[in-house]
A and B are shown apart, each in its own frame.
Chain A
Amino acid sequence: AQKITQTQPGMFVQEKEAVTLDCTYDTSDQSYGLFWYKQPSSGEMIFLIYQGSYDEQNATEGRYSLNFQKARKSANLVISASQLGDSAMYFCAMRELYGQNFVFGPGTRLSVLP
């Protein structure tokens, strides 16, 4: 069974600092995809970054990067140079190759302080 754990219900970070949001996952599959989404207070779900289980390099998208440690089954999101607009809920999600579902973690609420 799939399972996503995000152990940080809430995080604070100072503006312009970097922050790491933790995500660990549980799967017996070798092929899977890992995703991060942002949900601001307005409610929409915004795709941030994707990491494939066979990707050798960590994914990066602008200020977002994914610290992927396959052996540890962790896929932490790193946000560099935090901005006030980064304040939101962040969800880690996983999908196995033959799985039909996205499974989401409980989320981490990030607050960026001025």
Chain B
Amino acid sequence: DSGVTQTPKHLITATGQRVTLRCSPRSGDLSVYWYQQSLDQGLQFLIHYYNGEERAKGNILERFSAQQFPDLHSELNLSSLELGDSALYFCASSASQGARETQYFGPGTRLLVL
């Protein structure tokens, strides 16, 4: 158990809908990262928050947004869902944001868009 929690574990929804994925980092970790893992794209970095502030954006679509709250939990919002958004979405946390900081991953949310 990494100490990172993600809810829900599974999510099935329809195209055009909006969903919210939630992540609670390990106790004391200030950084939260979101990743998307699909069969054809592999593991793709989406976005990074540090202590409530957005620090970096990766391959995140405009239909997707995220935020980190004062209690450090984070939410990833996916809207106008398309079939291609079906993937495993991971949240990871680390104590800080340096190159040496190991990221610990949550169990992931498996999203299926029908």
Which A positions have Cβ atoms within 8 angstroms of B? 31-33, 35, 37, 43-47, 50, 52, 91, 95-104, 106-107
Closest Cβ neighbor of A34 among chain B residues: B99
Chain B 30-64 per-residue mask, 1 if CB under 8 angstroms from chain A, else 0: 00010000000011010010000001101000000
* Assembly CA distance A58 to B100 (angstroms): 15
B45 and A101 form a contact (CB under 8 A): yes
Q: Which residues of A contact B67 (CB under 8 A)?
A: none
B101: chain A residues at CB < 8 Å are 33, 95
Q: Is the Cβ of B105 less than 8 Å from the Cβ of A101?
A: no
- Chain A residues with CB below 8 A from B98, complex form: 97
Q: Which of B58, B92, B99, B107 contacts A96 (CB 8 A)?
A: B99
| B42 touching A107, Cβ below 8 Å | yes
Asked if B105 and A37 sit within 8 Å, CB to CB, the answer is yes
Q: Is the CB of A100 within 8 A of B108?
A: no
Inter-chain contacts of B42 with A (CB < 8 A):
104, 106-107
When A43-B88, A44-B108, A45-B90 are in contact, do A103 and B45 touch as well, CB less than 8 Å? yes
Expressed in whole angstroms, the minimum distance between the Cβ of A102 and any Cβ of chain B is 6
Q: CA of A43 to CA of B88 in the docked complex: distance in angstroms?
A: 8
* A–B pairs, 7, beta carbons within 8 Å: A43-B88, A44-B105, A44-B108, A47-B2, A97-B98, A100-B48, A102-B33
Nearest 9 CB-CB pairs, A to B? A100-B56, A45-B105, A104-B43, A97-B99, A33-B99, A101-B45, A95-B99, A44-B107, A33-B100
Specify the chain A residue showing the minimal Cβ separation from B59.
A101
- Residues from chain B with a CB closer than 8 A to the CB of A32 are 99
A43 in complex: contacting residue of B58, B102, B104, B107, CB < 8 Å: B107
Residue of A37, A43, A52, A99 with most partner-chain B CB within 10 A: A43
